[in-house]
Amino acid sequence: MIEDAAQAVNAKYKGRYLGTIGHIGCYSFHDTKNYSMGEGGAILINDLEMSKRAEVIREKGTNRSQFFRGEIDKYSWVDIGSSYLPSEINAALLYGQLERIESIHNKRKTIYDTYAQGLKDLENENLLRLPIALDNAKTNYHMFYLLLKDSETKFDLLKYLKTYGIQSTFHYIPLHKSTYYENQYGAKDLPITEGCSGRLLRLPIHNSLSLSEVNFVIKKIKKYWEYSMLPKRVKAYLLVHVAFFYLLPFTSNVKGGIKNAPLLI
């Protein structure tokens, strides 16, 4: 079994680290991950023979690693392979983060808990659903998402947050909807997966996000609902009022009524 644990470094399920459950586990250190080296990853192998072969494939199909350990007197090509090694520079960047793995983990936990606490009221009012923490899982706080009522709300909120310079994103298109999958295995209907994918909005979360930025995001999300919950008549009233105050200085100047009226922005 090959376990795709791309985002799961330092996360556990039933006491076992993700990536260590299958015969082979794969981690990603792409720059969107909790621990990053720009591009790159790691394979965790639970079988000695497979591990020996992986070492050769990683080194362009040679037994160079054995040579460096002094186990053979020269190295040669013994299998297929390619240059799968990360550069020392990239590895050093990652190593610095792995040395601080728990402090990075705790930082992300604080961001995650702040979002969860700050947005709890909206969940209580049934406007959205927050991520669920499973009893037997230890999360690594890779992402924080909102599950919204429908995809219109998701895109509307995304657009609204963007006007404040807040980057929220929708999640991946489900794999069974990818062109490759559909060409290989045919179209499938998975309504729950598609429903969640359509309604899910991810909020900013990264190792350098400050708590004041997190609180700013929370404030704007709450504002979004304060406004969208207003009855239509109140919204129309507000719109007319705002338009009136914006246009007032302009019309007054044209008529020569109020001179040098300040722009009410």
Ligand X SMILES: Cc1ncc(COP(=O)(O)O)c(C=O)c1O
Site of interaction with ligand X (CB under 6 A): 4, 6-7, 28, 30, 41
CB of 187 to ligand X, least distance (A): 22
Give whichever of 3 and 59 is closer to ligand X, judged by the CB atom: 3
Q: How many C-beta atoms lie closer than 10 Å to residue 11's C-beta?
A: 18
CB of 264 to ligand X, least distance (A): 46
CB of 172 to ligand X, least distance (A): 7
Is residue 138 within 8 Å of residue 182, measured between CB atoms? Answer: no
**Element housing 134 (H / E):** none
By beta-carbon distance, which residue lies closest to ligand X? 28
Angle at which helix 211-228 crosses helix 151-162, to 10 degrees, equals 120
Give whichever of 41 and 174 is closer to ligand X, judged by the CB atom: 41
Give whichever of 41 and 61 is closer to ligand X, judged by the CB atom: 41
Give whichever of 2 and 264 is closer to ligand X, judged by the CB atom: 2
Give whichever of 197 and 252 is closer to ligand X, judged by the CB atom: 197
Question: What CA–CA distance (Å, rounded) separates 100 from 173?
Answer: 33
CB of 72 to ligand X, least distance (A): 32
CB of 8 to ligand X, least distance (A): 9
* Nearest Cα residue to 12 out of 138, 143, 133, 109: 138
Distances (CA, A) of 230 to 21, 141, 160, 217, 234: 50, 34, 16, 20, 6
Is residue 105 within 8 Å of residue 10, measured between CB atoms? Answer: yes
